[in-house]
Structure 1
Amino acid sequence: MTVLIADDDPVVREVVRRYLERDGMTVRETDDGPSTVAALADLGDEIELAVLDVMMPAPDGIEICRAIRSGPRPELPVILLTALGDEDDRVLGLEAGADDYVTKPFSPRELALRVASVLRRTKTVRDSDEAVLRDGGIEARPAFRLALVDGTPVDLTPREFDLLVFLLQHPQQVFSREQLLAQVWGWDFGDLSTVTVHIKRLRAKLGERHRIETVWGRGYAWARTGNGATDA
């Protein structure tokens, strides 16, 4: 597993690198926006996850995250490092397409665990026994991490795809934000707005075909169209 760490603070890069290497990962480092963009282009598929500092010299982490989501590898997992504590700023990062964020100052061990969680969840969905999940015009193929609406591929972030697969696998069941955070993100605790933002983004990308219902006071559920099917 190769992780790119982009941060203009050499101390942060050094500490994070040690923890990730301790977990058996290969680490590549950059210290500003231009070098990060170049590394993502040059290293290509070698990078399996990017940790981006929001406040590094322009383009910053959020700008690069947006570029990743509109580029040739929109599925690349992204974790943002931010010193911004305001919820609006955290939501901005999630809306840019980040799969997760960690607020500075942070525990390097916590970040290492978040990295492992994102990579593990990505692999779990990819290795799912379900070949194809369908409901109406929505189709998800976990083995290829491919989502389609009426036969047209839709660019989803890894977390958005994981969320879609989980909901398709559990139709008609209501899940609270806490339960989704545990089941999809693998977190025992965290900012519940993370779930809210991902639900909003997933609905927007699936368009009128989405079947995500808000069950007031309880959470969210995928309401089957009645003619959907799951193929093994």
Structure 2
Amino acid sequence: MPIRVVWRSRRQPDRRGIHALRLRLLLHRLRPPRPQLHHPAGRTRRPVRRLPHLTPGTGPHPFPGAAAPPPAHSLEPTMTDESDAQRKAKRLQQRADRLKADFEARAAHNADLYGRFAGGQPIVPGHSRRSALRDRARADAHFDRTIDVYKEAEKAAGDARWAQVRADAQDAITAVTSTRERPWGPADFLPGDIVMVRTFQTGQDTYLVKRVNKKTLTLDGGGGGWDDPKREYDRVLSRTRGGVTVTNPAEGENQ
């Protein structure tokens, strides 16, 4: 008996997709309508959600006496008082001192724990063997913890030193920028001027000005042009022209 093959010209619908579409339509009907606002001209529009404008000293988390935040394009350091960078350095130094004192106390106590085995006293079989093994295990565990505390103290001391260096550099930069009567601008520079700029955070470097742009200075990187850096005007700390160095832009207007 020959086998009859029937080719279907149309694809059968997916029942699962149909059920999913019906479920979405049902949920859309059950969803509450959005509120509509009536426009005076007769049109309706959706309400616009706006965030409240918070000023320093107001809002759910006020900061009494807080200054206005710097503009987004400003690259001036935000830690401008001693209570930020210096306090952080002091906290790290206090933590380093605590860990150092803890290490010294543990080292002294560790010597007492090994006092039973001073001079290479061996563990002999007998009624004291169990207590000797227990004391040695306790001393070994305490010694391992002492080594860990020593490493933590060394790391904390290094962090405290670098934090103090950054804080001192931050204070030096703040002392320069706080005396400005106005910010630096393109009119304050000429090609050939020598400028000191902040390179990264509190790092400083000296460059020769090659080109004065609207928002940046193109500096001579010493590589023939391919490595010439660009620095914003608020990164400039001082300008030297004709052997005269100024840190306040208002002082160099007549030069």
Tell me which interval the TM-score lies in, with the shorter structure as reference length: under 0.3
Higher-Rg structure is 2
